[in-house]
C-alpha cells in the first residue's frame, strides 16, 4: 500500500456551506489558483446542480487549473451528473463525485428507499458517470452511521460499476477515532474488490474530533483525506487541511505517511480564506491561529530563546510565517512590492500589480509601515470584489459628547449615485442606518465585531458583520485605519454578499 495521502480540498464546496460564507466567482477562482499552488491533489470546486452561479464558477476553475484534479459534486441522478460534466469536461484532470445516503435513518426518512434501491441507483449513476470520465468518486453519505456490511455491499457494487475512489464520510461528526478506525479497517477487509479503488474519508467536527478521526482512518488504510482550509464547513466545520498535513509532517516517525502539500503556503492560504469568507480564525486555532507560535509564559519564552524545539514542535517558517520581513512603506517601489507579494504566495499580473500598488501607496501615506495583513486586505478588496451592487463613495461623520451622531453617506448603487444623511445612537449606528436607508435593505444585523490587524495606534481596524434577510445569512468584512470607515465597508460588503445570495438561488445542499 502506498504511503502517499491524497489531499482532497473541499473548501470551495463544503467550506462554502458555512453560514454566510458564499463566495463570488472571482473569489473562488483566486482561491482555486492558491490551492493549486498549495499542492492539493484534488479540488472539489462546487455543486454545479445547485445554481447557475455554481456551474459557472466550477467551469471557470476547471478551465484554469493545470495540475490539480477538479471535481464536481452530483447526486445519483443523470441530470446532476450531466451538470457536473458540463462544468468540468474541459478540465485538464476532471473528476465526477456522486453521492447518496446509506444509513437506515436517511433511507427511511429522507430518501424513502430500500437498500437494494439505493445500490441500484448508485450503480446506474457510477456507470453513467464512467462513460464521461475515468475518474469517478462515490460517497456513502452518513457512512459512519450506516450498517457496515451494507457499506461493503454498496462500495463493492460502486467499484464494480467503475468508481475509482470510494468515500466513507462521518457526515454529522458522530464518530470517535477508535470506532471510525475500526469501521475503515472492516470495510477494507470485507469489500472484495477494494484494492481497485482509493478509500477516502470526509469527517465533520461536531464533537471536535474531525482531525483525530481522519488521522485514525489514514492509519487504518484510507489514502484520501477530504479537508478544508481553516476547517470551515457545515455546522462545526470539516477536518482542517492544515491540521492533517502538519500532523503527518510533524509525526512522520509515527504515521509514516506523506502528502504533496507545499507547507510554506499554508499560512497565506489560511489568511486568504479568512479574508474572502469573512470568517475569522480563532487565535488558539491549531497551526494557523494567531497564538499558534506565540509564547507569553516566562518559562516558555526562556526555553524558546535557548532552543525553539523546547516549546515549538513546528517551525513557523514551515507554514509560511517568517520573522524576517521586508519593511514596506511609502518609499517602496513596485519591484519591492511584487517581490514581497510573491513571497506571500501572490503572483500578480502587471495590471493587478498596478491596481494593488495604487491602493498600497494610499495606505502607506497613512501608516509608517505596511505589513502582510494590510497587503492581504488590499488584494482582497482590490482584486476579488467584482460586480458589487453597492460601493462607498463618501462618508462623513459628526459625533461627540455634545452632539447627536450623524452620518452623511454617498453610495454608488449599480452605477447610480445616491446620497443622504441620518442619525444614530453612535457614529457607527448612524452610518449603518444611513447606508441601510440608501440601499433599501431590510437586513437584520446579527453580529458586529472589531479587531486590529496589527499592533500600534495606526493599525488597520478589521470589522466583521453578519446580516440576515429572508432566511439568508451573509458575512461582511472591511478594514481601514479609521474604524468607522472600516465598519461602513464591512456593512456594504455584507449587503453585496446578500445581493449575491439573492441572485444565485441554491437547491438542496449536499451534506456529504
Average pLDDT over residues 442-454: 89
Is 306's pLDDT higher than 90?
no
Residue 195 lies in a domain: yes
* Residue 166 near residue 130, CB atoms below 8 Å: no
Residue 380 lies in a domain: yes
Is 123's pLDDT higher than 80?
yes
Dist CA 325 CA 85 (whole Å): 45
Q: What is 161-189 written as a DSSP string?
A: HT-SEEEEEETTS---HHHHHHHHHHHHH
Which tens digits make up the pLDDT trace of 224-238? 999 999 999 999 999
Residue 120 lies in a domain: yes
Residue 183 lies in a domain: yes
Dist CA 191 CA 154 (whole Å): 9
CATH number at residue 487: 3.30.160.270
Dist CA 101 CA 122 (whole Å): 10
Domain end among 355, 384, 413 = 384
Tell me the residue range of the domain where 472 lies: 390-503
Whether residues 477 and 461 fall in one domain: yes
- Please choose, from the candidates 269, 219, 208, the residue with its C-alpha nearest in 3D space to the C-alpha of residue 241: 269
* Residue 15 near residue 228, CB atoms below 8 Å: yes
Confidence of residue 149 (pLDDT cuts 50, 70, 90): very high
pLDDT at 324: 45
C-alpha dihedral (347, 350, 356, 357), degrees to nearest 10: 120
Whether residues 11 and 83 fall in one domain: yes
Which tens digits make up the pLDDT trace of 424-441? 999 999 999 999 999 999
Whether residues 309 and 324 fall in one domain: yes
- Please choose, from the candidates 72, 45, 48, 85, the residue with its C-alpha nearest in 3D space to the C-alpha of residue 61: 45
Is 477's pLDDT higher than 90?
no
Instruction: State whether residue 498 is helix, strand or coil.
Output: helix
Question: Is the model's pTM score more than 0.95?
Answer: no
b/e for 23-37, b at 16 or more Cβ within 10 A?
bbbbbbbbbbbbbbb
Is 509's pLDDT higher than 70?
no
Residue 347 lies in a domain: yes
* Residue 186 near residue 158, CB atoms below 8 Å: no
Whether residues 108 and 215 fall in one domain: yes
Q: Which stretch of 81-90, 145-154, 172-181, 350-359 has the lowest confidence by average pLDDT? A: 350-359
Whether residues 366 and 466 fall in one domain: no
Which residue did the predictor score with more confidence, 390 or 309? Answer: 390
Whether residues 115 and 59 fall in one domain: yes
Whether residues 53 and 180 fall in one domain: yes
* Residue 179 near residue 190, CB atoms below 8 Å: no
Instruction: State whether residue 364 is helix, strand or coil.
Output: helix
Whether residues 336 and 250 fall in one domain: no
Whether residues 169 and 24 fall in one domain: yes
Q: How many CA atoms lie within 13 A of 227 on its CB side?
A: 29
Whether residues 85 and 209 fall in one domain: yes
Is 382's pLDDT higher than 90?
no
* pLDDT averaged over every residue in the chain: 90
Beta-carbon contacts of 116 under 8 Å, excluding residues fewer than 6 positions away, are none
* Residue 228 near residue 241, CB atoms below 8 Å: yes
Whether residues 343 and 469 fall in one domain: no
Q: How many independent structural domains does the chain possess? A: 3
Confidence of residue 423 (pLDDT cuts 50, 70, 90): very high
Q: Which residue in this structure is represented by grid cell 491596481?
A: 355
* C-alpha cell at position 26: 472571482
Amino acid at each position: 500500500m502506498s504511503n502517499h495521502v491524497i489531499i482532497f480540498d473541499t473548501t470551495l464546496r463544503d467550506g462554502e456551506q458555512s453560514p454566510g460564507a458564499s463566495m463570488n466567482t472571482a473569489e473562488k477562482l483566486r482561491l482555486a489558483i492558491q490551492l493549486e499552488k498549495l499542492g492539493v491533489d484534488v479540488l472539489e470546486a462546487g455543486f454545479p446542480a445547485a445554481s447557475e452561479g455554481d456551474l459557472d464558477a466550477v467551469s471557470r476553475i476547471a478551465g484554469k487549473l493545470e495540475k490539480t484534479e477538479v471535481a464536481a459534486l452530483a447526486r445519483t441522478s443523470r441530470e446532476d451528473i450531466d451538470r457536473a460534466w458540463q462544468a468540468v469536461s474541459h478540465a485538464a484532470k476532471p473528476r465526477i463525485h456522486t453521492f447518496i445516503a446509506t444509513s437506515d435513518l436517511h433511507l427511511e426518512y429522507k430518501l424513502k428507499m430500500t437498500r437494494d434501491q439505493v445500490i441500484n441507483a448508485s450503480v446506474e449513476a457510477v456507470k453513467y458517470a464512467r462513460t464521461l470520465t475515468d475518474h469517478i468518486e462515490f460517497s456513502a453519505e452518513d457512512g459512519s452511521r450506516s450498517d457496515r456490511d451494507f457499506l461493503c455491499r454498496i462500495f463493492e457494487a460502486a467499484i464494480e460499476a467503475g468508481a475509482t475512489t470510494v468515500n466513507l464520510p462521518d457526515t454529522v461528526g458522530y464518530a470517535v477515532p477508535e470506532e471510525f478506525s475500526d469501521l475503515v479497517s472492516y470495510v477494507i477487509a470485507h469489500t472484495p474488490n477494494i484494492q481497485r479503488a482509493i478509500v477516502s474519508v470526509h469527517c465533520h467536527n461536531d464533537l471536535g474530533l474531525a482531525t483525530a478521526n481522519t488521522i485514525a482512518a489514514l492509519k487504518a488504510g484510507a489514502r484520501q483525506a477530504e479537508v478544508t482550509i481553516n476547517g470551515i464547513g457545515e455546522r462545526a466545520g470539516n477536518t482542517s487541511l492544515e491540521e492533517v498535513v502538519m500532523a503527518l509532517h510533524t509525526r512522520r516517525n509515527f504515521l509514516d505517511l506523506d502528502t504533496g502539500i507545499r507547507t510554506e503556503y499554508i499560512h497565506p492560504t489560511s489568511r486568504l480564506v479568512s479574508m474572502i469568507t469573512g470568517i475569522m480564525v480563532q487565535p488558539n486555532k491549531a497551526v494557523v491561529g494567531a497564538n499558534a507560535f506565540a509564547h507569553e509564559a516566562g518559562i516558555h519564552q526562556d526555553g524558546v530563546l535557548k532552543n525553539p524545539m523546547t516549546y515549538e514542535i513546528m517551525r513557523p517558517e514551515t507554514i509560511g510565517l517568517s520573522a524576517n520581513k521586508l519593511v514596506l512603506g511609502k518609499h517602496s517601489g513596485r519591484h519591492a512590492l511584487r517581490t514581497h507579494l510573491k513571497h506571500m504566495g501572490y503572483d500578480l499580473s502587471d495590471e493587478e500589480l498596478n491596481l494593488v500598488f495604487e491602493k498600497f501607496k494610499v495606505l502607506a501615506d497613512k501608516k509608517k509601515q505596511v505589513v502582510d495583513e494590510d497587503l492581504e486586505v488590499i488584494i482582497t478588496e482590490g482584486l476579488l470584489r467584482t460586480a458589487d451592487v453597492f460601493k462607498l463613495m463618501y462618508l462623513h461623520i459628526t459625533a461627540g459628547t455634545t452632539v447627536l451622531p450623524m452620518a452623511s453617506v454617498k453610495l454608488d448603487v449599480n452605477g447610480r449615485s445616491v446620497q443622504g444623511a441620518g442619525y444614530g445612537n453612535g457614529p457607527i449606528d448612524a452610518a449603518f442606518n444611513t447606508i441601510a436607508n440608501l440601499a433599501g435593505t431590510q437586513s437584520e444585523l446579527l453580529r458586529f465585531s472589531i479587531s486590529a490587524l496589527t499592533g500600534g495606534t495606526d493599525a488597520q481596524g478589521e470589522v466583521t458583520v453578519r446580516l440576515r434577510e429572508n432566511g439568508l445569512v451573509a458575512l461582511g468584512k472591511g478594514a481601514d485605519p479609521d474604524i468607522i470607515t472600516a465598519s461602513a465597508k464591512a456593512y456594504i460588503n455584507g449587503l453585496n454578499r446578500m445581493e449575491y445570495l439573492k441572485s444565485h438561488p441554491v437547491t438542496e445542499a449536499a451534506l456529504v
